Amino acid sequence: MPNESSSPSHEDLNEILRLRREKLDKLRALGVNPYPYRFEKDTHIPDLLRDFDSKIENAEHVGPVFSIAGRIHTVRIMGKAGFCHVRDEFGEMQIYVQRDRVGEQAYEIFRHLLDIGDIIGVRGTVFRTKTGEPTLRAQSFELLSKSLHPLPVVKECEGQVFDAFTDKEARYRQRYLDLAVNPSVREIFRVRARIISAMREFLDGRGFLEVETPALQPLYGGALAKPFTTHYNVLDRDFFLRIADELYLKRLLVGGLERVYEISKDFRNEGMDKFHNPEFTMLEFYQAYADYRDLMDLSEELFRFVARAALGTTEVTYQGRTIDFAKPFRRVTFFDLLKQATGTDLVGASARELAEVALKHDVPITREMGEGKILDEMMKTLVRPGLLEPTIICDYPLSLSPLAKKHRDDPRLVERFQPFAFGLELGNAFSELNDPLDQRERFEAQRKLKEAGDEETQPLDEDFLRALETGMPPTAGMGIGVDRLAMLLTDQTSIREVILFPQLRS
RNA sequence: GCACCCAUAGCUCAACUGGUAGAGCAACUGACUCUUAAUCAGUAGGUUUAGGGUUCGAGUCCCUGUGGGUGCACCA
């Protein structure tokens, strides 16, 4: 055991970590601050690489001087000179460090005290190596942050990647490593950011007002889901994290705001899998004096706008299949789809009749299922797998939607629609129920379901009913799952790939 | 929640029907002033996820826990 460590804690570390600490001490002994305050960085790497040949130094290595900063990802040292690659947020570039140019002490630091993973700033002129790679010839460099942990080293040759950092648990728990080492991950979150800003741009441009409503609510509502419960000590009472924004946004409609939207984190106390994270991002928007048909048009435009903003095209490829959001969505009613699948018109059918048809088509159902659940199950097994092309399903059965307005032509239905693409559900919209008496009856029906043992029901919200009784204009509203849209537009099959820090067991 | 699969060096992976843990990269020492999966010579690095059991002997078989993945169920 070598005994060179200058502080006792070094002995507790494994060899790799201990050596890094020792390098830190040596740097300090040389008068180098391993964590300085700032660096005058004048360009991002891709900007430097653009029009590169116009910036190249002359034969005497004289030319314009550039400074870049980023993390060291590779090092190749050959005696009195060496190469490394430095990566900033947007790109990567090779650096050439020569002893005779940066000086003996700096070169020794480069050679012995810098590591893959360190963040450095480099000043120099640019040239192409004999193989043509754009390279920065260092005049000087500065250590900007010493890394005390080894960075996973991913190598690449002719497009082939070696030793990729792929362990999902490590990638999610240490997302900073994932982002540092896997450039495609950065791109996913850039696309996600563009999706969200495109939503804002789209809605702002159409007169919608962005608002913020409580995440901490005395009563939850707006969706059928189990909430997270917490306790507010000052009031000594329980509160819920919102499962949806709906009931608050509708109160704003009552207040006379005609177009509102909110992009919010919602929380649902349910399982997590490739489509569900306990906290997720939702866009909800509401437009007064409009009905669900208006929103069908608007939402198609929104998807088109968002896809173009996020990807630069309306053509979206997901898991090897391509669709074009520029084409109008197919529009079809819930019961027409079921009729196509089963040959039977099921509008108004009883649970018993539905069960019979379901069994005939091998839909897995149980005795306890009411008509709503059976219908839902039939959709899921018989219809949804075939919905690859963008499709709007509309006119849902009343029993599934306690906050939607009854269909103007058929009281057994509600004016509700959901857009689908690649079999993925992209949203949920309806002509909002604004009849306070009907709404009260729906709440009562929900209460009966709860008494019968249903855990996911909409609790009666007296305060919300009072708002509705004050009068809400005819309104259409929509919710869009932002994470799922991000999955679709980034071609990911797991929600964890589009959430920076997905929930994991601790 | 249930079922199945997985967990070995910092990273990516080996280790046959149980026989005493190995490689590449990273690291360390040295050589090399246009390398680029740099190369060459050498060195070091492990409580095999945790705990228990079977066995002369366990990375390997059994049980339990933890974490991850996949599928089912519920939901967006």
How far, in Å, CA of A429 to CA of A380, rounded?
18
- Cα distance between the two ends of chain A: 35
How far, in Å, CA of A89 to CA of A171, rounded?
18
Q: Nearest nucleotide (C1') to the CA of residue A165?
A: B11
- The C1' atom of B58 and the CA atom of A147 lie apart, in whole Å, by 39
Q: A351 near A441, Cβ under 8 Å? A: no
CA-wise closest residue to A135 among A201, A66, A39: A66
User: Is strand B in 7 Å reach of the CB of A223?
Assistant: yes
> Consecutive 10-residue runs of chain A (506 residues): their mean pLDDT?
35 78 95 96 97 96 97 96 97 97 96 97 97 97 96 88 90 94 94 97 98 94 88 93 95 98 93 89 97 96 97 93 93 92 86 84 75 82 84 88 92 93 90 95 86 79 96 96 94 93 87
Dihedrals phi, psi of A10, to nearest 5 degrees:
-60, -30
Q: What interface predicted TM-score (ipTM) does this complex get?
A: 0.91
CB-side neighbour CA atoms (13 Å) of A194: 17
- The C1' atom of B62 and the CA atom of A40 lie apart, in whole Å, by 63
User: Is strand B in 7 Å reach of the CB of A65?
Assistant: no
pLDDT at A317: 92
Q: Which of residues 347-386 of A touch strand B (CB under 7 A)?
A: 364, 373, 376-377
Q: A476 near A430, Cβ under 8 Å? A: yes
Q: A111 near A82, Cβ under 8 Å? A: yes
- The C1' atom of B46 and the CA atom of A13 lie apart, in whole Å, by 15
User: Is strand B in 7 Å reach of the CB of A456?
Assistant: yes
Q: Which of residues 71-100 of A touch strand B (CB under 7 A)?
A: 74-81, 83, 94, 96, 98-100
| Chain B, protein-covered positions (CB within 7 A) | 1, 10-13, 24-39, 44-46, 66-76
pLDDT at A99: 97
User: Is strand B in 7 Å reach of the CB of A156?
Assistant: yes
User: Is strand B in 7 Å reach of the CB of A204?
Assistant: no
User: Is strand B in 7 Å reach of the CB of A276?
Assistant: yes
User: Is strand B in 7 Å reach of the CB of A278?
Assistant: yes
Q: Nearest nucleotide (C1') to the CA of residue A481?
A: B76
User: Is strand B in 7 Å reach of the CB of A389?
Assistant: no
User: Is strand B in 7 Å reach of the CB of A153?
Assistant: yes
CA-wise closest residue to A502 among A209, A76, A175, A187: A175
pLDDT at A12: 54
pLDDT at A7: 37
- The C1' atom of B2 and the CA atom of A298 lie apart, in whole Å, by 42
- The C1' atom of B75 and the CA atom of A37 lie apart, in whole Å, by 48
User: Is strand B in 7 Å reach of the CB of A19?
Assistant: yes
**3-class SS letters over A140-195:** EEEEEECCCCCCCCCEEECCEEECCCCCHHHHHHCHHHHHHHCHHHHHHHHHHHHH
User: Is strand B in 7 Å reach of the CB of A425?
Assistant: yes
Q: Nearest nucleotide (C1') to the CA of residue A114?
A: B27
